[in-house]
Amino acid sequence: MRRLFLAVVLLVLAVLLIPPVRHRAQPRIDQFRTWAGERLEGPLSPVLTPYRNIRARSEIGRVVTDLVAFRNRGLPPPGASEFRDFMLNRGLSETGNDPWGSPYVLVQEPDSLGIRSAGADLSYETDDDIIVKVRFPTRPRRPLRRSR
């Protein structure tokens, strides 16, 4: 029994640490992740949902900060078709999707800019959506008066 356990441990270490072995084993690893994820999603949802909410808010917050910096430099925000590339260039994820796999959506209004995640139900415009907006002043600011 010990030898079998040791053999399994050595095989797992070889797959993790040796790139050619890992490359050959990658399709099986992906299959196992999919299989395990499907079976564990339900029982682990009380733990995964809050984690995913926090992760989505964090990712959205970083991108909103970048969008505000763009605006402050006088650059226009990316269009809807350019937004996914904008997200990918920020290095948030490999796909530019939220933690549930739905794409983030740029929300532009005359007085605000924001990003929306579909949330756990994978549907936009519902109560569980995660959205972070930044409101901009609609009137130009007056210069400060200096006292003499």
Higher pLDDT, 50 or 47: 50
Q: What is the pLDDT of residue 32?
A: 86
Centre a 10 Å sphere on the Cβ of residue 65 and count the other Cβ atoms it contains.
13
Would you place residue 130 in the very low, low, confident or very high pLDDT band (cuts 50, 70, 90)? very high
Percent of the chain predicted with pLDDT > 70: 91
Would you place residue 117 in the very low, low, confident or very high pLDDT band (cuts 50, 70, 90)? very high
Average pLDDT, the chain: 84
Taking residues 39-51, report their average pLDDT: 82
Question: What are all long-range contacts of 70-75, with beta carbons under 8 Å and residues at least 24 apart?
Answer: 71/113, 71/136
Q: Which residues contact 63 (CB under 8 A, 6 or more apart)?
A: 86, 87, 90, 92, 104, 115
Would you place residue 124 in the very low, low, confident or very high pLDDT band (cuts 50, 70, 90)? very high
CA distance 45 to 40: 8
CB 109 within 8 A of CB 98: no
Q: What is the pLDDT of residue 134?
A: 86
CB 36 within 8 A of CB 44: no
Taking residues 126-148, report their average pLDDT: 75
Q: Which residues pair with 107 in a beta bridge?
A: 114
49-107 pLDDT, tens per residue? 898 999 999 988 888 888 888 888 888 888 878 888 888 887 766 778 888 889 998 88
Residue 20: pLDDT over 80? yes
Q: What residues does each domain of the chain span?
A: 47-138
